[in-house]
Amino acid sequence: MAIWDDVIPERDAEVFAAAGWGRRAGYGERPAIMVIDMNYNFCGDKREPILESIKRWHFSCGERAWDGIEATQKILGLAREKRLPIIYTTNPRRADGFDLGVWGLKGSRSAEEVDVMGHKGNEIVAEVAPLPGDLFIEKRKPSAFFGTPLISHLTNMKADSLIMTGTTTSGCVRASAVDALSYDIRVTIPEEAVFDRGEISHKIALFDLHMKYVDVTTLADVLSYLDKLPAGLFDATYPPAAAAARLGESWS
């Protein structure tokens, strides 16, 4: 049973099936890992019910974020053993909010302090924080590709695919996944490792992404795939990973 089965009308499911959508595209051969916006703004600083968390962290996804963090930890542990590139994003802001642009018009709390550059809110939560050798992308809009060097990094490393984790499923994850497809980068999303503040948004976004753009699968499926990869696929094209491993920088 797919996670979206309880919210997708039977008629819609029949239409997509009859039209032939939703086939698995499959994994690539040289995957990088993406951790999208797993910062304190979107996760809060501890596991607590979302309506409590958003009192202090108004973008928080509450306890669902911490489920995603735990799933992502498992992916990162195996990815580091294999010395795969790991790419993080976050979204710091100018103190005056200018770079938020019209996006800021959609939230009545957009000007609160957690959205100011340099505040803890924009830091990746400690449980999945970057290590030496990881890539770090600062973005100002939903997609990790928009206005950033991400596609250049993937091209330079000869990465053909992404394992995508993070938040929010219906926002930055979706935007980044669709842009990856536009660059002919395969994407696999383990459902347990992405999250949203709205459950229906989460489920419908995953349904739509899986039907038309990327593969949505399970954490177990992703871990099985990663486990079968040889270590050091990127040693020649992404030296920081190999160097960090040689220096004993806690890559496993």
- Residue 155 CA from chain centroid, whole number: 19
Helix or strand run (H / E) with residue 215: strand 215-217
- For the chain, which residues make up each domain, given as ranges? 28-129+137-239
What pLDDT shows up at residue 110? 61
Q: Is the C-alpha dihedral spanning 123, 126, 132, 137 positive or negative? A: negative
Alpha helices in 136-235 (DSSP H): 150-157, 174-182, 199-212, 219-228
Q: CA-CA distance, 224 to 144, in Å (whole number)?
A: 26
Q: For residue 216, report the phi and psi dihedrals to the nearest 5 degrees.
A: -105, 125
Q: For residue 17, report the phi and psi dihedrals to the nearest 5 degrees.
A: -65, -45
Q: CA-CA distance, 74 to 88, in Å (whole number)?
A: 16
Reported as a pLDDT band with limits 50, 70 and 90, residue 3 is very high
Residue 1, pLDDT above cutoff 50: yes
pTM beyond cutoff 0.75 = yes
Spelled out in words, what is the top-level CATH class assigned to the domain 28-129+137-239?
alpha beta
Tell the residue number behind the tokens 């270590």, with chain if given. 231
What pLDDT shows up at residue 102? 67
Q: SS3 breakdown of the chain: % helix, strand, coil, rounded to 5? A: 45, 15, 40
Helix or strand run (H / E) with residue 190: strand 186-190
Q: What does the block give as tokens for 182?
A: 């536009």
- Residue 162 CA from chain centroid, whole number: 10
Q: CA-CA distance, 233 to 183, in Å (whole number)?
A: 21
Q: What does the block give as tokens for 201?
A: 């948004």
What pLDDT shows up at residue 240? 78
Q: CA-CA distance, 240 to 9, in Å (whole number)?
A: 47
Span 155-204, pLDDT tens digits: 999 999 999 999 999 999 999 999 999 999 999 999 999 999 999 999 99
Span 87-119, pLDDT tens digits: 999 976 666 666 666 656 556 656 666 554 556
Cis peptide before 168 (omega within 30 of 0): yes
What pLDDT shows up at residue 249? 52
Residue 235, pLDDT above cutoff 60: yes
Q: What do you get for the CA distance between the two ends of the chain, in Å?
A: 33
E strands of 24-182, at which residues? Answer: 31-36, 86-90, 135-138, 161-167
Q: CA-CA distance, 111 to 245, in Å (whole number)?
A: 41
Span 9-39, pLDDT tens digits: 999 999 999 999 999 999 999 999 999 999 9
> What is the DSSP secondary structure assignment for residue 78, as one 8-state letter?
H
What pLDDT shows up at residue 88? 98
Residue 60, pLDDT above cutoff 80: yes
What pLDDT shows up at residue 91? 78
